[in-house]
Structure 1
């Protein structure tokens, strides 16, 4: 790269005692598909003593057009090297890469392309853990060309290992805090997030490999103590109070800090051995919780976290320690159900001396329905379901179960009360010795012809839920991913006839990747036509002018549902009156169609006709053309005493046949060689 050329990306690597990981890190940058002429790598050796500096110099000699090395005294953390890199960067974008980690070879190309296409100021590339290190996942479920911190999960990753537009960094004057031992990246990244024109996410490619060092010396692993975490928490909460005026929006972001950072601070607090340090840290945490934790935010957390926050807020350190031990040991007392609410039996529940409010133990919102399908099959227009469903940790007392079909797009739903059945084995298998699920069995039949309040179930994708009512608590769960091995899981359309003579297609299927049960009504995802295959056509040996059409159908149809049709340039003719045959549903079919009789009855006039297998229902379009069978000879027959023929036309993809009377004059001319 010439001195005048402006690179697309300045990759900043701060390195301290990073051997042997460093070599792979640097090579992953210089080998990027973006191209070396579009990249500069600024490596800052932060006073290493293990040969890191020498290896950087060697790499700079090997790749002089890409790698620049800066040596400095040890600064004690990652902030100063990154800040030096920012000062030296010339690229349109800056990417921060830790010296332990490495990039996928297309990472920078994909992220720069995403930024340029969407005018993004920050781009997150999918991270994957290496060596047992856990990587963020929630924000990488799908590509997001344009998003922000309030409508996506990007705020849940505040590390700087991302692509930033350099203009944004300079406009905001962003630099990493050098006065914090941990969390120094959070103010930098959050300010970039909040002021970005757009944030993008590249989730369909593994961009960043986040490495767990074998020696355990990752910076985030080596920072000890509660006070360093309290320090950046205070900074972040002040920053959000200043930058985000809406309390509703601020709560969205604060949730991440209370769920991740406060939890981490409390964990470290319980390890503090010096009483003075422990007491001062507890007092600061109390202040942070009191000043920033709203009731609305509190209600978003699971009960055990609400309980921890309450105990910390009120300085109840020993109680906090006991609840933490209880939770880590995964102990569980029997859930208490009263007046339609469920309470976990965590320590100090209704302990008069501690006076912890019940809402800290309320797990009603967290309860889930557990379910299993033993039977799920269509019988004509009816769907038959049976199995069991119960609210986990709630006895099946005063229990009622409903099947619910909810249309995915509109949210319209219809419910169907199920017959309650005894299921003693469920208590034995899942009751944990504490819960009675003996009335969790169900059986229900749903007629798709009357499911919509007496009307035919409309076209749509109807997801199955099981709704369970027990002891005043109502919960429901998407159903189907737990089912018996004997259930047919293949999506197989069924043709259902309505009383007024109309027809519609119903396809039970299981979604991917979750495996939940859905009814596709009206061929929204599954076309019946694609489940009908015509294999071949041949002449019947015992009936001149009769064609035998064979194939397979992987759908629920009756013999009268499929009809052979003939099409010419001018018209289409239904040949049901001239057709006999059998259909095995699902399975093979074979139709015998007498073209000779259709020609004799003048249903098929003389001319060229193409054959197809279709649905007989006039309101459902489905056409499967009969493939041509090369080499078929002309079939000769008589029409009302006169010679006639059906001649296949070889050069067509579709089975095409010419029907006509034999012209005796033309035949004589051919025999005599006249006019040939």
Structure 2
């Protein structure tokens, strides 16, 4: 465990969480800090909310007390009225703890250190206007707040295979992800984005759960054998969107080792359908590249 030294020479471990939970529209965040030595006063503390995909920054007061070698802290994040009566704006907000007044103070991530038994499953609330808000622990164990449930990029995942289903005229994409960072997945969607026009094409991804992984399978129509609107011509980048607990995370799909390269019959002529190969991102090209 990392430790820091305060102005009195006492050493202080990183803060650990003891409670995260909703009370109405307010998220209560509580924790403690172990300290060796007795400081002259409890340090000033603030909860810091940083907008992950933007420049938003909010500082909220945190109360703190010292007893028996511990400094305990508590803060409330009222997402319905976080600043001057306004709700917390939509997006992803990472929750940190600032100890000491700036610029000398230090900022610590909250979540990697936490009390045994602390519930780490996503916790949801609904604001007026059917806005979903969820407090959750991300892949690195850090505490964040998701306002609005919009899709956000969460990294990449390698496809297990890309195959050609000749009978149905479909490109079948299969793969899996580590499900430890998600809770109760409810939907999967394969989203293809055309590189030049930025048009999108979506198909449902069937999900199959096991103890530590979440498998997916999506069939991409490229002829009119079974659907009226197959994947149009172009070069399409592939992403997997997983919906869970009112949130959506988008993973760029990486190509497997064996690509698909076939000629299909559409609009009275043969058209090439090909996929990229590892280690590149997965791209499906219909027509000339």
TM (norm. structure 1) is 0.26
Structure richer in helix, relative to its length: 1
Structure with greater contact order relative to length (CA < 8 Å, sep ≥ 6): 2
TM (norm. structure 2) is 0.49
Structure richer in strand, relative to its length: 2
